[in-house]
Chains A and B, each alone.
Chain A
Amino acid sequence: MDIFLTILQGVPMTIGLTVSALALGALGGIPLALGRRSTIPGVSFVAVSLIEILRGIPPIVWLFIIYFGLGTALPMLDPLTSAVAGLGLISCAYMAEIYRGGLSAITRGQWEAGEALGMGRQSVLTFIIGPQVFRVSIPAAASYAIGLLKDSSVAYTIGVSEIVYFANDQSRQSSDALGPFFLSALVYVIMTIPCAWATRALDARLRMRVAR
Chain B
Amino acid sequence: MPPHIEPPRIQEKPLTKPFAIQLESVAKKYGDHTVLNNVSLSVREGEVTAMIGPSGAGKSTLLRCINFLERPDTGCITVEGNQIDAGTNFTAKDLAALRRNVGMVFQSFNLFPHLNVLRNVSIAQERVLGRSRKEADVRSMQLLERVGLADKAKQYPSRCSGGQQQRIAIARALALDPRVMLFDEPTSALDPEVGLEVLAVMKELAAEGMTMVVVTHEMQFARDVSDHLVVMANGTIIEEGDPEQVFTNPVQTRTREFLRAVLER
Is there a direct interface between A and B, measured as CB atoms under 8 Å apart in the complex? no
Residues on A facing B (Cβ under 8 Å): none
